[in-house]
Amino acid sequence: MGTLVGLLNHVQMMVKHAYGAALRDLALSTRRAIDRSDSHLMDVVIHAAAGSFRIVLEAAKTPDLLGQNELARALERVDALFEKAANQEQAAEVVRANPGHLAGAYLRLLRFLIQHNTGLRYSWAETTFSKPSNRSISEGEARPLVSLLSGVSNLGSESVKLLGTLEEVDVTRLTWRIATPDGKYSGEVKQGGPSLVGLITGKTYKFDCIEEIQEVEGTGREQRTLYLVEHRPV
């Protein structure tokens, strides 16, 4: 059961980041008109039978009046990642074309499958579909793909730009906190990164950062860290 829970956690994280990636391709006005709360979440409808790893999930939110669901945006992105699984070069090209947290979540899922010597097969559909969308990846397909993708630097990282007032800076611990109109953000500086010497609290800065995600082992949660790459006074 622990393996199944772990698999579900990885799938849910990948769907979450797939939804975020799909939204970023929409116009700002369209994004604002969408109720995005919990749109990526899925509920377990039928639990796995004894000795089985087959489960049935459904969108946590009900479809709109046309029978369409926001979750479909995410699943279409997930489909694209698995579509070329049988050809590792083509599959890797698709992943490299979708860098960021989605690619990172996909890679962590593949590593989980390898660790547990298993593959993954899934299907999904909306009421308007004439037939379900089906995708799969075997352990044998996952292994060379993971080896290929593991050599791609910053594959699972995303760039983040912040504009706000510097609230805290520690040149010894290499940490900082900045307040923006969207909220407060804290982060670090990697070894060899930009110096924090000379930054003044209370002043406005532009921070260019890289956000990395690490899985908190055994919890199904993610730990995000912002690393400062460049800073400029405004």
pLDDT tens digit string along 179-218?
Answer: 999 899 999 999 899 999 999 999 999 999 999 988 776 5
Residue 10 and residue 122 in contact, taking contact as beta carbons nearer than 8 Å: no
CA dist 123 and 133 (Å) reads 5
pLDDT at 95: 92
CA dist 19 and 75 (Å) reads 8
Q: What's domain 158-233's architecture?
A: Beta Barrel (2.40)
CA atoms lying within 13 Å on the CB side of residue 214: 4
Low-confidence ranges of the chain (pLDDT < 70): 1-2, 35-40, 43, 45-53, 61-68, 217-220
Backbone angles phi, psi at 214, to 5 degrees: -120, 140
Three-state DSSP class for 213? Answer: strand
What type of residue is 184? K
Residue 111 and residue 55 in contact, taking contact as beta carbons nearer than 8 Å: no
CA dist 118 and 228 (Å) reads 38
CA dist 123 and 114 (Å) reads 21
pLDDT at 38: 66
The region that residue 142 occupies, defined by phi over 0 for left and psi between -120 and 50 for alpha, beta otherwise, is alpha
pLDDT at 178: 98
CA dist 12 and 22 (Å) reads 15
What does the longest C-alpha to C-alpha distance in the chain come to?
62
What type of residue is 171? V
Q: Which H helix or E strand runs over 17?
A: helix 2-24
pLDDT at 214: 81
Span(s) in the chain for CATH 2.40.50.140: 158-233
pLDDT at 209: 97
